[in-house]
Chain A
Amino acid sequence: MASKKIRVLIAKPGLDGHDRGAKVMAHALKDAGMEVIYSGLHQTVPSIVKMAIEEGVDVIGLSIMSGAHIPISKKIIELVKKEGLDDMIVIVGGVIPAKDIPVLREIGVAGVFPGGTPFEESIKFIKENVRN
């Protein structure tokens, strides 16, 4: 199944409406040959995980600019585990201070890509880490 397209859900949790980065990443991943689903704004943790299951995605990419990246990531990963989605990886982008990156990795976030990360870096990471 090497030729199967990687499926990614780009998700915007919370009330923050700044989606420029989320949409830019969606375009970049699509151009890199992935199937990309964009959640739209104002999503909750359960609605994101539900969408991820329905769409059968390999990756959930959270875009968070509000400063709440740690609690939100924690909840998403707990729910992903609870649902038994062992093959699904969670990555995070947005406004993320450097000091929070190890904290996010500790929680179980596979990769962290703050604003300004080159596209190739995120694309390469996803291709190497998707477990299918």
Chain B
Amino acid sequence: MGVARYIKDEKDRINDVILQSGIHIKPLYTEDDLREIGFDYRKDLGNSGQYPFTRGIHPLGFRSREWTTRQYSGFGSPRETNERWKLLISQGQTGLNVAFDLPTQMGYDSDDPMAEGEVGRVGMAVDSLRDFEIAFKDIALDKIGSGLTINAIASIMVAMYQAVAEKYGFSKKEISATPQNDILKEIVGRGAWIFPVEPAVRLIGDVIEYTVKEMPRANPVSVCGYHIREAGATPVQEIAYAIQIANAYIDNVLERGYNIDDFVARFSFNLDVFGNLWEQVAKFRAARKLWAKNIKEKYGAKNDRSMFLRGIFGGGGGGLTKEEPENNIVRSAYYALAAALSGAQTMALCSYDEAYTIPTPHSALISLRTLQLLMDEVGLRDTVDPLAGSYFIETLTKQMEEKIVEEMAKIDKMGGMVKAISAGYIQKEVARQAYEFEKGVQSGELIKIGVNKYAGGEQGEVELHEYSDESAIEQIKSLNELRRTRNNKDLARTLKALKKAAKDKVNVMPYLVDCCKAYATVGEMTGVFRGIFGEFVEPSIF
């Protein structure tokens, strides 16, 4: 979908192009432009694998390794999930991705009134270790890593993951958990928040600190500019906010007496890929450079690996339309091209039918093939950072960099991301951009083929998966059974210890592991936190 504004004359000649980030594109770029921006190869780019890593973090890019494809999938009961995972593993999949239902993401047990109608709907319902025991049964947790798509209570799920691994004879040193664990982007863009900003960030820090010490194979945080962009932010804001959010987590861990090089190499990013091709490529190149500079200059890192912007550049859901849905296959291929030209290490695409339904296996396969085609058929593995040196791309990269720095400075001025989000500034800014975008689409100024230009074709009808109470009833039954049969003395003791740790600002992770092993429920553990931290009160501005 078009995200640039085109100013045309009456003969359809383009007089100006204004990118979403506010940058004007000129009709012609020459060596004069590079001179004007003071382009310096070593300072601005360096070779791939060299600081500031504008051209990529690995010297040989896709030559040494093609991108990892990780299509998101999975919903159902713990038992169904276990069966599907075993099947996927038998077909060669090396990583799992756990999707949780909304009550679990929000820290409610399946029988809580707030959970009504949502149990097991968008992911797996997890009430206690009992559910993880079923889901992860017979899975080699020393070989298979697990992504845990959860944020507000990522701490609880990482603890539960350790508990289930130990139950099945694996040590915490050999398992690999990758929780999303980015609460600030939830507050800005996705809404699955529970606690006020400061204790919420502390819990993120607890997970990072604990995994650094105890779970060497874990990736404790995936900073998601993605959801902020999907909520309306411009590409410049996406990167500025993502870096500032990462900085908020870094600051929290540094306060505990760690060195930046102890932990930041484990951070990864999840960034969005739809939009104007050139703007996206420039965005990713600028982001790599700015992250490296941020880590080196602001935080004084010494280790190159600490400066790597690793991550997934993918998705692109915001560009897809339910009108003429097959066009989304083509759109997504171009978005994937942007990611490939930008040297994305990991890639996943939204499926073409995702604008109106849960993707079918067929549509998910088309997405996977799109990614494979780029690597194997059209030459994206041939050479590193192929657009480098282009008068246009280098100028645009520099302009994006300047805009991102400006946006980051605004947040610094407010005292950092925790303050900017607590005050509602970021949320307001994102909502304003979403409104501007929608106005542009409705007026036809932002072109969407098949929607506001050449419209009138086939419509994808919204399909919602029928919700069945049956699995919810079964889940609640087994929860009640658990409550009847567990050892209440252990439960009370571990929950009491958790409460004390939460109150005394001690890292809660070991206490959560004990609670999980005593079969405390997600609602009970979250309840302890709710009692001490309270709940976030959303600023009512929009």
- Which residues in A have some Cβ–Cβ distance to B below 8 Å? 14-20, 23-24, 26-28, 36-38, 40-42, 44, 66-68, 71, 95-98, 114, 116, 118-119
Contact = CB atoms under 8 A, between A and B. Distances in A.
A110 B538 CA distance: 29
B462 A38 contact: no
A19 B117 contact: no
Contact of B538 (A14, A15, A40, A97): A40
Contact of B114 (A15, A66, A68, A95): A15
B467 interface: yes
B442 interface: yes
A119 B186 CA distance: 27
B489 interface: no
B103 interface: yes
B286 interface: no
Given A27-B435, A66-B118, A68-B117, A16 B464 contact: no
Interface string B88-123: 000000000000001101101000001101100100
Contact of A95 (B103, B231, B464): B464
B118 to A, nearest CB: 6
Contacts of A116: 322, 451
A27 B538 contact: no
8 contacts: A14-B117, A17-B186, A19-B231, A20-B231, A23-B435, A24-B434, A27-B431, A119-B442
Interface string B166-191: 00000000000000000000100011
Contact of A27 (B106, B118, B193, B542): B542
B438 A18 contact: no
B527 to A, nearest CB: 16
B337 interface: no
A36 B105 CA distance: 29
Q: For chain B, give the interface size range.
A: 35 or more
A67 B106 CA distance: 18
Given A27-B432, A41-B191, A97-B463, A15 B438 contact: no
Given A15-B103, A17-B193, A116-B322, 6 more contacts: A20-B434, A24-B435, A24-B438, A41-B193, A67-B121, A68-B117
Given A24-B438, A71-B117, A98 B462 contact: yes
A112 B189 CA distance: 25
Contacts of B117: 14, 66, 68, 71
B192 A17 contact: yes
Contacts of B432: 27
B353 to A, nearest CB: 14
A28 B435 contact: yes
A27 B542 CA distance: 8
Contacts of B542: 23, 26-27, 36, 38
A36 B117 CA distance: 29
B232 A97 contact: no
Interface of B: 102-103, 105-106, 108, 114-115, 117-118, 121, 186, 190-193, 230-232, 322, 431-432, 434-435, 438-439, 442, 451, 461-465, 467, 538, 540, 542
Nearest to B114: A15
Contacts of A38: 540, 542
Contacts of B464: 67, 95, 97
Instruction: Output the residue of A15, A24, A68 with the most chain B CB within 10 A.
Output: A15
B102 A114 contact: no
A17 B190 contact: yes
Nearest to B537: A40
Contact of B462 (A28, A44, A97): A97
A66 to B, nearest CB: 7
Contacts of B114: 15, 42, 44
Contacts of A66: 102, 117-118, 121
Nearest to A16: B102
A28 B461 CA distance: 26
Nearest to A26: B542
A37 B537 CA distance: 15
A68 B191 CA distance: 17
Contacts of A71: 117
Contact of B191 (A18, A26, A95, A119): A18
Contacts of B467: 67-68
B295 to A, nearest CB: 30
Nearest to B113: A44
Contacts of A24: 232, 431, 434-435, 438
Contacts of A44: 114
B540 A14 contact: no
Contacts of B186: 17
Contacts of B230: 20
B127 to A, nearest CB: 15
Nearest 3 Cβ contacts at the A-B interface = A17-B191, A40-B538, A27-B435
B460 to A, nearest CB: 11
Contacts of B103: 15
A14 B118 contact: yes
A14 B190 CA distance: 14
A68 B467 CA distance: 9
A119 to B, nearest CB: 6
A57 B110 CA distance: 34
Contacts of B190: 17-18
A40 B106 contact: no
B195 to A, nearest CB: 13
A23 B431 contact: yes
Contacts of B106: 15, 42
A37 to B, nearest CB: 8
A2 to B, nearest CB: 27
Contacts of B231: 19-20
B90 to A, nearest CB: 32
Given A23-B431, A114-B462, A15 B442 contact: no
A128 to B, nearest CB: 20
